[in-house]
Structure formats: structure tokens, C-alpha cells
């Protein structure tokens, strides 16, 4: 069984539809110069709806350390918040990806840190199969929960119409919340 969620950025409104969703990922930063101007209001919408909340950084070429620190400097974390690296810029290396996740895991101990990427990046650019605490895979194949990869995954973004919609590989919202606050490894997919 899977649960549903969405991800939002500055392209979505501050108040968005939350009915039927268990989680949301909100874009906070990109590179070292951009911060989503709506993220605080978008976080309030998620929290008011009782959603498990995650935050993501869109990686750009440049200093991995500076980008990880910039991302972390923008947010005040609450217990159970999930952190994610959005890896979809072709000029961002596998080494950057691995080291960003490790740095954020170290600096935000107690918070799960996951990797977001599309199926092509995972199968053809990734060389270590390192996704931190779990993989959030994008593959728009019309089959929610079946992202056509063999690696265990936690979240599957399966469409962007009308908004980026995901399923989570968890029994229910309580299971996702329990995982997000625990020190346990991700469940196998």
C-alpha cells in the first residue's frame, strides 16, 4: 500500500490543495542565490493540514559545501522534517550529489535526507547507488508506485499534471511519520 503526496515550489500558490495527501516536499533553495519566496507560507499550509513535511534544494554547479550550508541556513527544522537534494542539472556530478547528502546528514543529524532524481539520472549518471536515507525517483510512466527501477525507493513522482504528484512507499501517514523521526533505515521497496 502507498500514500500520496505532492511537491511544490514558487510555481504553486502559498495555499494549495492538501486533501488526500499525507506529505509534501517544498523547494527552499537553488544554488547559493535563490530562495523560494513562498516557502514559509507553503510550509504553514502543510503544517496546518497535518502533512509530513520535507524540504528540498535544487543543486547547481558550484561549491557543494556552500550549497548545503545555504540550504540549511534558510530553514528552522522541526522533528520529523525530511531533507532532499534535487539532482537534475547535468553539470552536477555524482560526487557532488553524494557529498552534499553526507554533509546535510552530518549537519542536520536526526533528520532523514533523501535523493530526488529522475529515472535516467539514476540509471545512467549515478555511479554509487548512494541516496542517503532513501530514493525519491521521478518517472512519469502512468503507473504510480511502479517507477521501473530495481533499487528500493521511498517516493515516486509519477506525474506533473496538474501538480507534481507522488506516492510514498509507506503503509500510511503514521508509518511515514514514524520513519521520519526514527534512526532506522528506510523500508525496502
Secondary structure of 88-127 as H, E, C letters = CCCCCCHHHHHHHHHHHHHHCCCCCEEEEEEHHHHHHCCC
Each residue's pLDDT tens digit, 157-188: 999 999 999 999 999 999 999 999 997 654 44
Model confidence over 6-41: pLDDT tens digits? Answer: 999 999 999 999 999 999 999 999 999 999 999 999
For residue 27 the three cell numbers come to: 523547494
Residue 11 — φ and ψ, nearest 5°? -75, -20
- Its pTM stands at 0.95
Joined together, the cell numbers standing for residue 90 give 547535468
Q: Tell me the pairing of strands 23-30 and 34-35.
A: antiparallel
pLDDT tens per residue across span 32-70: 999 999 999 999 999 999 999 999 999 999 999 999 999
pLDDT, one tens digit per residue, over 132-149 is: 999 999 999 989 999 999
DSSP string of 40-86? HHHHHHHHHTT-EEEEEEE--SS-HHHHHHHHHHH----TT-EEEEE
Domains and CATH numbers, the chain: 3-181 (3.20.20.80)
- Over the stretch 92-142, which tens digit does the pLDDT of each residue have? 999 999 999 999 999 999 999 999 999 999 999 999 999 999 999 999 998
Amino acid at each position: 500500500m502507498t500514500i500520496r503526496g505532492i511537491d511544490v515550489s514558487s510555481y504553486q500558490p502559498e495555499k494549495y490543495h492538501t486533501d488526500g495527501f499525507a506529505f509534501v516536499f517544498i523547494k527552499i533553495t537553488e544554488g547559493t542565490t535563490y530562495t523560494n519566496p513562498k516557502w514559509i507560507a507553503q510550509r504553514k499550509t502543510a503544517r496546518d493540514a497535518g502533512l509530513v513535511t520535507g524540504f528540498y534544494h535544487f543543486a547547481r554547479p558550484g561549491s557543494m559545501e556552500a550549497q548545503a550550508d545555504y540550504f540549511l541556513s534558510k530553514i528552522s527544522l522541526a522533528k520529523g522534517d525530511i531533507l532532499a537534494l534535487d539532482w537534475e542539472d547535468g553539470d552536477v556530478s555524482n560526487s557532488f550529489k553524494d557529498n552534499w547528502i553526507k554533509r546535510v546528514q552530518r549537519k542536520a543529524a536526526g533528520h532523514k535526507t533523501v535523493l530526488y532524481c529522475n529515472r535516467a539520472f539514476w540509471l545512467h549518471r549515478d555511479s554509487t547507488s548512494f541516496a542517503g536515507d532513501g530514493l525519491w525517483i521521478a518517472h512519469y510512466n502512468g503507473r504510480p508506485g511502479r517507477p521501473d527501477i530495481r533499487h528500493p525507493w521511498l517516493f515516486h513522482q509519477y506525474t506533473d499534471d496538474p501538480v507534481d504528484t507522488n506516492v510514498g512507499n509507506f503503509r500510511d501517514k503514521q508509518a511515514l511519520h514514524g520513519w521520519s523521526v526514527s534512526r532506522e533505515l528506510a523500508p525496502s521497496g
